[in-house]
Chains A and B, each alone.
Chain A
C-alpha cells in the first residue's frame, strides 16, 4: 500500500539547514526499512504554471491552480502495510521537516 505524505506549509521560507539535516536522516531510515518510494521538495508556488489543453488549444496561465494561505511544499511517497504504519512514519516526517503533513492513500 502506498501513501502520499504531503508537506503543508504556510510560511514562505525554505527548510533551514537543521531541518534539511533532519529530513536526510529520516529519508535514510525510510530507505533502510523499505518504506521509501520517492520524495521531493518543491519550489515556491509562485513558480508554478497551469496548462489547460482540454479544448485542444493549450491555455497557459501563470501561477498555482489554487491560491491559498497553505500550499504544498514537498512530499514523500511511502510504502506501508497499513495506515497505522503510515501515520507513525508521517509523524516522524512532520517532526523532521518541522511542518504539518497530510497522509492520503493511493488507490
Chain B
C-alpha cells in the first residue's frame, strides 16, 4: 500500500470513527482530556503504521483498542493515577451497564455534555466540533472567523470546567431535554455547514461525512424530541440543502451557484422528505423558530423550476420574519441577495454596504459585493472585492468559482 493510500485511509477513519473513539474512551475513563489525547495519539499511530502494516480489517476497533492502551499508559505515567481511576469508576458506576450497540447513544451523550448550558455557547460549539466532529483547531477557527489561540483556549477551559465542576456525561432527563436541545441544534447546524462548505486547501469542497453525520445526529435528536419544531425544522433545512449537493460542485471542482445548478440532479427523495417536514410544521400553526424559517426559504427555492420561477417576494417575507428573530449581519447579507432579485443590484448593494464594519472578515460579504458590483458594471471595484473574497474563502470550489468570475471581468 502506498503512503498516500494509507493517509487517505486514516483520514477516512478519522472522519468516521473519531467521535466513537472519543465517546467510548470518555465513558471508560471519565475524562474528556484523556479521551481526546489518546484518540489523537491512536490516529497518529495509524498514520505511522498503516503504510507498512496495511489498514486493519476493522479500523474503528483497532483505533479504539490502541487509544485505550494510550490512555492507560498516560494514566500510569501520572502521579495521581489513583485519583483518576477512582474518578473513572465513580462516573461509570453512575450509568447502567452498556447495552450492545449503544454506540450511537454514546455519541449523543458526548454531544449533550459538550453542549451543557453551564458552558459558554462559543465553548460548546468549539468543544463539539473538536470532540464529536473531529475537526482540528485551525478548521474550527476558520469556521468562526476567530484566531486559533482563541479556539484552543475555549476548548481547554471548557474541558477543565467539565472536570472541575463535574458536568455529567449523559443524555439529560426528559424534563431537561427541550431546554437543552436548542444548544445541541445550534452546534449540529454548524457541523453541517462545515461539511457543506468545507475549509482547508487539501479537503474536498463538500465533506459528505460531516453533512451526513450532522443529518444523522439531527435525526436522532428529533427522534428524542418529536414535539420540538426546531429539531424538525433543522432536519428539513439540512435535507433540502443536502439534496442540492451534487449540483453544487461542477465536474472540474468549481462551485455552481443556485442560478446555474442543473435542477434535474437534485435529490427528489430528500426534497420530498424536507418539504413534508416543512408542511407538517406549518400545519401545527405554532410560531416557527429560525431553523423552520430557513427550511421554509429552502423549500421555496427547491419548489422552483428555475431561478426566474422562484417566488422571491415570499423569500423576502421569510427573511423579514427571520430578521425579527435574529437580527444578525449574516442574515441581513442573505436578505440582500433576495432584495437584488426584486429591487435590483443597486438597492441590494446599499444594504450590503451597511454591514461593512461587522462582516469585513467574512468572505461571503465580499463575494456578494463583488457580484452586485459586477452586475452594476463597476468592474474595477468588483475585481477588488473578488480579490478580497478569494483571499478569505477557505473552500476550494468557492475559490475556483470566484477566481473564474474575477478573470471574466472586462
Chain A residues near B (Cβ < 8 Å): 1, 3, 81-84, 86-87, 103-105, 107
Q: A105-B165, A107-B164 are in contact. Are A83 and B94 (CB under 8 A)?
A: no
Complex Cα–Cα for A2 and B172 (A):
21
Are A83 and B172 in contact, with the CB atoms below 8 A?
A: no
Are A105 and B168 in contact, with the CB atoms below 8 A?
A: no
Minimum CB distance partner of B163 in chain A: A105
**B249 sits at the interface (CB 8 A):** no
Q: A84-B172, A87-B118 are in contact. Are A105 and B164 (CB under 8 A)?
A: yes
Question: Which chain B residues in 135-180 approach chain A with CB under 8 Å?
Answer: 164-168, 172, 176
4 smallest CB-CB distances across A and B, nearest first, come from A82-B168, A105-B165, A82-B166, A83-B165
Are A105 and B166 in contact, with the CB atoms below 8 A?
A: yes
Complex Cα–Cα for A5 and B165 (A):
12
Complex Cα–Cα for A103 and B168 (A):
15
Are B166 and A1 in contact, with the CB atoms below 8 A?
A: yes
Question: Which chain B residues in 7-32 approach chain A with CB under 8 Å?
Answer: none
Task: Give the interface size class of chain B.
Answer: 10 to 19
Interface of B is mostly: loop
Can you list 26 A-B pairs, Cβ within 8 angstroms, ordered by A? A1-B166, A3-B165, A81-B94, A81-B168, A82-B94, A82-B166, A82-B167, A82-B168, A83-B116, A83-B118, A83-B165, A83-B166, A83-B167, A83-B168, A84-B167, A84-B168, A84-B172, A84-B176, A86-B165, A87-B118, A103-B165, A104-B165, A105-B164, A105-B165, A105-B166, A107-B164
User: For A83, what are the chain B residues with a Cβ–Cβ distance below 8 Å?
Assistant: 116, 118, 165-168
Complex Cα–Cα for A3 and B165 (A):
8
A104 to chain B, nearest CB (A): 8
Complex Cα–Cα for A104 and B166 (A):
11
A4 to chain B, nearest CB (A): 11
Minimum CB distance partner of A81 in chain B: B94
Complex Cα–Cα for A107 and B87 (A):
13
B245 to chain A, nearest CB (A): 38
Task: Find the residue from A1, A86, A105 having the highest chain B CB count within 10 A.
Answer: A105
Minimum CB distance partner of B91 in chain A: A82
Task: Find the residue from A3, A84, A86, A104 having the highest chain B CB count within 10 A.
Answer: A84
User: For B165, what are the chain A residues with a Cβ–Cβ distance below 8 Å?
Assistant: 3, 83, 86, 103-105
Minimum CB distance partner of B94 in chain A: A81
A106 to chain B, nearest CB (A): 10
User: For A3, what are the chain B residues with a Cβ–Cβ distance below 8 Å?
Assistant: 165
Interface string of B99-130 (1 = CB under 8 A from A): 00000000000000000101000000000000
Complex Cα–Cα for A34 and B87 (A):
21
User: For A86, what are the chain B residues with a Cβ–Cβ distance below 8 Å?
Assistant: 165
Interface string of B161-202 (1 = CB under 8 A from A): 000111110001000100000000000000000000000000
Minimum CB distance partner of A87 in chain B: B118
User: For A82, what are the chain B residues with a Cβ–Cβ distance below 8 Å?
Assistant: 94, 166-168
